[in-house]
Amino acid sequence: MNWRLTAAGIWLAVVVVGVAIILQRAQDDQTIAKRQMPMNHLIQTSDLKKSQGRDLVAKYLRMNVVPGELIKKDDVASVPLLGTDSYPWFAVQTPAEAAHKDVDPKSKGQICDEGTALSPAEVVALFCNGGQQDNFCVVLVRVAPTDATKLSAVLSAKPSPGNLLFKPACGKDHK
C-alpha cells in the first residue's frame, strides 16, 4: 500500500510539472496589445503590454487587434499583407515621428509638396527601418485615379524622393 502512495505522488508531481511547463511556454509565445491596431500595423514597443514581446516589434499584424487581445508569433509577419484594388498606389516618404504616431493602414492624409497638398491619400502599408527611429519611413498610399496622372508628372519633374511627403495634413505646422 505504501508503494502505491509513493507512485501516485510521483505521478502527480510529474503531471504538475508538465502542466507548469506547458503554461509557461504558452505565456512566452504571446503578448498583450495595449491599444487597437489594424491589420498591417507596424508594431512598436509602445503597442505591447509585455516586454517579452520584443520579437514582435517591427513586424506587421496579420489581423485587426483590440486592446487586451493576445498577440502570438503566428499573428504577425515580416512584411505587410498587400491585396489588390483598382486604385493606383504610390510610395512616398513620411516623417518617422508622424509614422509612429499618426500613420497607420487605412489612415487618411495628404501627399504634400513643400507644404502644398497635391492629393488626398489613404495608407496601404508603412515601411520603417526595422522599427528604429529614423528621420523618414516609406509609406505606400492609394490615391484616386484622377490624381495619379498629376502625381506621376510631379514625380517625373522632381525625381528626388524627398520632394513629396505623406502627412496627416500639409502645412508648416505639421512635421
The domain made up of 31-81 has a fold known as Type Iii Antifreeze Protein Isoform Hplc 12 (3.90.1210)
- Segments making up each domain of the chain, as ranges: 31-81, 89-167
Burial of 92 (0-12, 13-18, 19+ CB in 10 A): buried
Percent of the chain with pLDDT over 70: 84
What is the pLDDT at residue 114? Answer: 79
Mean predicted confidence (pLDDT) in 100-107: 83
53: how many CB neighbours lie within 10 A of its CB?
Answer: 23
pTM of the model: 0.69
Question: What is the band of 23 on the pLDDT scale with cuts at 50, 70, 90?
Answer: low
